[in-house]
Structure 1
Amino acid sequence: MANIKRELMVKNIGRDPYKDLIMVDVVQRLGIDYEFKEEIEQVLERQYTAIDELVNNKDLYFVSLCFRLLRQHQYYVSADAFNNFVNKTRNLEIRGESNDALMSLYEASQLRVEGEEVLDEAEYLSRLLLQERMKFLNHDQSIAIKNTLAHPHHKSFARITEKHIISNVVNGNEGYEKALQELVTTDLALMRTIHDRELSAVSRWWNDLGLAQELKLVRDQPLKWYMCTTALLTDPGFSEERIELAKPISLIYIIDDIFDLYGTIDELTLFTEAVNRWDIAATEQLPDYMQKCFLSLHNITNEIGYKIYKKFGLNPIDYLKISWSKLCNAFLEESKWFASGHLPLAEEYLNNGIVSSGVHVALVHMFFLIGDGSTKEQAELITSNASMLSYPAAILRLWDDLGSAKDENQKGHDGSYVTCYMKEHGEVSVEAARKHVQDMISDTWKRLNKECFSPNPYSKTFIKGCLNLARMVPLLYNYADNQSLPQLEEYMKSMFVLPLNC
């Protein structure tokens, strides 16, 4: 692979800033950027030193591409970079731009933060123009635009769209398609081998745990839970971390089902108190299945904490316990609401739902598994800066609550932000409520962008994991009419040797 890398990068970068940025874009879209971290930083650092020239550049494709790549890598770039494309009335003048330029602008607009009106307009107008032009383009050109609008790079996973990238982006760029294709093929074979091995380990662990045999109604989806870890931690070097992270993710789902499908309010209250106290003895009055679930939670969390302690020198058990305690308290709050028939105010529901999404539990475990909390000062970051965790959680909760479909195995009643919002605003239609939620998701993405692209104390790996969690949401909740998850299925097919079902 080293020879392919040399042919691909060393022979091509440094000659032309335009082509350098295209190369960075391509390897990121194909999910092989981990192979070129140093080269990517060289290209972007070189471009950032010439940032003043960007404001004077009148090539919309280049400006949009440069803006997006620099922001992705936490280089500050102002939206003023697009001033050359704004008229005296502060409106964008882009109707005469090429399709490639409009697609590049649409991609750049996905990295906007609150208050950047020019990028709000850029998203709306570029989408409108591209949709209008699709009627007059050939099949391949229309597919390229359709894929861009449906899966903008910043909010999608590389594996979903990689088959379109080489032909649509690389073609015609100095004949390095062959080297790129070889690298992608080699990388895909390597990752499939790694993922097959990891999934086998997770499946063995899950079967040995025995909770699925004990609780017939709960979701039994180790593949889906493991796929979440491949989305959060994409670098092949995080193999052990993905296996360990799959364990708390599976328990989030199981405990959620226990609250929705099994326990009475009294039992769930006792279970939550046991988690709050982290005391096995506190479960003695509970049904056998709850005792076994808590014992599994207790043992698995302690085991993960000890493994992290051996590797990095700090035992994060207190932080892990707090994340589980908050989750169960949020689950209990929801159970009380719906057992009583009481619907809370929409904001109250959402604040609780952000916690009950389980995102905090997953990200806290990931934070320590990748070694970001190896000192007391670092560990405190995970509690002092909650926005980095809360924004992906809000995106997940809101997307799920749009109610496009219920999880095929989930028979419980766990409420919906849309329902709470409609009750609170009596004259609002379902369509208006859904539009309100979609706008909230868009605004939350802006806040997440600001959190990730502004200076912050988190590692690039953790920031990428938080973004990846938000990107993962459509895979998990974008149901088709037949209750399938087509995007998740497409993602899984790219990850394994054989196609697998959810």
Structure 2
Amino acid sequence: MADIFDRFKNEKGAFKESLVEDTKGLLELYEASFLMTEGEKTLELAREFVAKFLQKKLNENNVIDDYHALLVCDALDLPLHWRVERPKARWFIVQKQGGSLTYKKKRPDMNPIVLELAKMYNRWWRSTCIAEKLPFARDRITESYIWSVARHFEPQYAHHRITGTKVNAFITILDDIFDVYGSFEELQLFNDAIQRFDLVTETSLWLISKNYKIISSLNNLVDEIAYDILKDHGVVIIPYLRKLWVDLSQTYFQEAKWYYEGYKPTLQEYVENGWISILAPVILGHAFFLVADSIEKEAVQSLFKYHNMIRLVGVILRLANDLGTSVDEMERGDMWKSVQCYMNQTGDINKERVANSPFPYNFVRSAVNLGRTAQYLYHHGDGHGHKKCPKIKDDIRSLLFMPIA
């Protein structure tokens, strides 16, 4: 694809200065550059060239009009290719209508659905007794729902969104336990219990007596999801789902161990542990079974050997999360993050999107959208874990509860 842009270069291989007069063309070229794959030097040069002149046009107030100035400013902040689809579509509607919208007070096909979802999640959350047993844990049901709806908002994926929200809620609880609220000895016992996924061991009983209700509730969730997949596809997936949680717990424990030992991991150590601890394999592992029309053996094997696509998405999530949460976590004594360990680590997810993949399109889309969701929630701070993040809270409120007239 990059060869197409060679026509815009001069005899020295640089982009022609005459291009800077076309603001719309520059903006389109800038957006296209984010679709590049590794080795496409022309698009790398294009991005540097265009970003420089677009910023200059903004500084000099030399853009076509206010609307295009807004588009340029927004693209330089975060390109379209990195944006979540539904919120961005709403943003364009707002801008086209002059920056304001008329909202419906009531829309029969939306508000009752949101209300019923809220009731359902509330009943489920209360049934786990986690809020009572673990009062320190964050209640992030709404944010957990956003992680699911941002990846698949279409009506046919309702079951995926419901189940995915439960998975995301449990991830938040595990993260809280390992991050701050357990001693090293307690975390070691807790991790050992999850590694076995056995509720009748002496260790597990000790944990339950210490109010760690999470283990039995997690086991129930795994069984519930596995039963649905067995009923629909005739495939037993309990071992696969347990592996996801076992691996996540082990990486959480490794980070806790580094913290309590005062050890600062190397770049390689942090990356190898961090792309799993950021939850990408757990979310995508469950998503695969929930969105796939059929479950092929090759795809399952690739998924649980942690195919490169899973790893790349994990790296993107790790960086986005650390950039959004590092200040809060360092202030409360949390472990070293990738902001300190690496700033330039990224993955070429574009190449994996077009490569010969064992995964169905719906799953590939889910993986790409997971990276976009991380940008959505962490671009202006910790939009998942911190309640004092007004920008993302306003976005979520308008997205879910304020239908456009």
Q: Provide TM-score, normalisation by structure 2.
A: 0.87
* Counterparts in 2 of 1:293 and 1:373: CA distance versus 1, 3 Å: farther
Q: Distance in 2 between matches of 1:486 and 1:456?
A: 39
Is the Cα–Cα contact under 8 Å of residues 226 and 236 in structure 2 kept in the other structure? yes
Q: Distance in 2 between matches of 1:167 and 1:242?
A: 26
Spell out, residue by residue over 1:436-462, the C-alpha distance to the aligned partner (whole angstroms, 9 max, x if none).
Answer: 61x323xx2xx1111112221211111
Task: Note if 1:274 corresponds to 2:274.
Answer: no
Which residue in the other structure is 1:32 paired with? none
Q: Distance in 1 between matches of 2:121 and 2:311?
A: 27
Report the more deviating stretch, 204-213 or 93-102: 93-102
Which residue in the other structure is 1:233 paired with? 152
Which residue in the other structure is 2:264 paired with? 343
Is the Cα–Cα contact under 8 Å of residues 289 and 295 in structure 2 kept in the other structure? yes
Report the more deviating stretch, 153-162 or 460-469: 153-162
Task: Note if 1:81 corresponds to 2:4.
Answer: yes
Q: Distance in 2 between matches of 1:261 and 1:404?
A: 14
Q: CA deviation at 1:263?
A: 2.2
Spell out, residue by residue over 1:154-199, the C-alpha distance to the aligned partner (whole angstroms, 9 max, x if none).
Answer: 110233333553587899xxxxxxxxx9xxx9xx985666444434
Task: Pick the aligned partner of 2:51 from 113, 116, 127.
Answer: 127
Task: Pick the aligned partner of 1:145 from 46, 64, 72.
Answer: 72
Tell me the amino acid that sits aligned with residue 82 of structure 1. F
Q: What stretches of structure 2 of length at least 5 have no aligned partner?
A: none
Which residue in the other structure is 2:62 paired with? 136
Q: CA deviation at 1:145?
A: 1.4
Is the Cα–Cα contact under 8 Å of residues 159 and 491 in structure 1 kept in the other structure? no
Q: CA deviation at 1:258?
A: 0.9
Which residue in the other structure is 1:156 paired with? 83
Task: Note if 1:248 corresponds to 2:167.
Answer: yes
Kindly report which structure 2 residues correspond to 1:424-443, keeping only aligned pairs within 5 A, or say none.
437=343, 439-441=344-346
Tell me the amino acid that sits aligned with residue 158 of structure 1. E
Q: Distance in 1 between matches of 2:94 and 2:180?
A: 48
Task: Pick the aligned partner of 1:463 from 351, 364, 372.
Answer: 364
* Counterparts in 2 of 1:152 and 1:284: CA distance versus 1, 3 Å: same
Q: Distance in 1 between matches of 2:217 and 2:90?
A: 41
Which residue in the other structure is 2:15 paired with? 92
Spell out, residue by residue over 1:203-237, the C-alpha distance to the aligned partner (whole angstroms, 9 max, x if none).
Answer: 32112222122112111111111111101222221
SS in 2 for 1:108: helix
Question: Between Structure 1 and Structure 2, how many residues are aligned?
Answer: 389
Tell me the amino acid that sits aligned with residue 316 of structure 2. I
Q: CA deviation at 1:142?
A: 1.2
SS in 1 for 2:206: coil
Is the Cα–Cα contact under 8 Å of residues 217 and 261 in structure 1 kept in the other structure? no
Q: Distance in 2 between matches of 1:474 and 1:164?
A: 16
Is the Cα–Cα contact under 8 Å of residues 281 and 306 in structure 2 kept in the other structure? no
Q: What stretches of structure 1 of length at least 5 have no aligned partner?
A: 1-77, 172-180, 422-435
SS in 2 for 1:394: helix
Task: Note if 1:103 corresponds to 2:27.
Answer: yes
Task: Note if 1:386 corresponds to 2:307.
Answer: yes
Which residue in the other structure is 1:450 paired with? 351
Which residue in the other structure is 1:488 paired with? 392
Tell me the amino acid that sits aligned with residue 313 of structure 2. P
Q: Distance in 2 between matches of 1:342 and 1:287?
A: 30
Q: Distance in 1 between matches of 2:81 and 2:90?
A: 17
Which residue in the other structure is 2:176 paired with? 257
* Counterparts in 2 of 1:407 and 1:466: CA distance versus 1, 3 Å: farther
Q: Distance in 1 between matches of 2:374 and 2:225?
A: 26
Q: CA deviation at 1:489?
A: 2.7
Spell out, residue by residue over 1:397-454, the C-alpha distance to the aligned partner (whole angstroms, 9 max, x if none).
Answer: 122223665459x9461321233x3xxxxxxxxxxxxxx61x323xx2xx11111122
Q: Distance in 1 between matches of 2:271 and 2:255?
A: 11
Task: Note if 1:418 corresponds to 2:344.
Answer: no
SS in 1 for 2:53: helix
Task: Note if 1:296 corresponds to 2:217.
Answer: yes
* Counterparts in 2 of 1:378 and 1:405: CA distance versus 1, 3 Å: closer
Which residue in the other structure is 2:295 paired with? 374
State the identity as a percent: 30
Task: Note if 1:398 corresponds to 2:325.
Answer: no
Q: CA deviation at 1:144?
A: 2.1
Tell me the amino acid that sits aligned with residue 157 of structure 1. V
Task: Pick the aligned partner of 2:246 from 300, 325, 338.
Answer: 325
Is the Cα–Cα contact under 8 Å of residues 160 and 487 in structure 1 kept in the other structure? no
* Counterparts in 2 of 1:488 and 1:465: CA distance versus 1, 3 Å: farther
* Counterparts in 2 of 1:125 and 1:194: CA distance versus 1, 3 Å: farther
Kindly report which structure 2 residues correspond to 1:303-314, keeping only aligned pairs within 5 A, or say none.
303-314=224-235
Structure with the greater relative contact order (CA < 8 A, sep ≥ 6): 1 or 2? 2
Which residue in the other structure is 1:34 paired with? none
Q: Distance in 2 between matches of 1:199 and 1:112?
A: 40
Which residue in the other structure is 2:127 paired with? 208
SS in 2 for 1:285: helix
Tell me the amino acid that sits aligned with residue 148 of structure 2. T
Task: Pick the aligned partner of 1:473 from 374, 378, 383.
Answer: 374
Q: CA deviation at 1:290?
A: 5.4
Is the Cα–Cα contact under 8 Å of residues 114 and 400 in structure 2 kept in the other structure? yes
SS in 2 for 1:324: helix
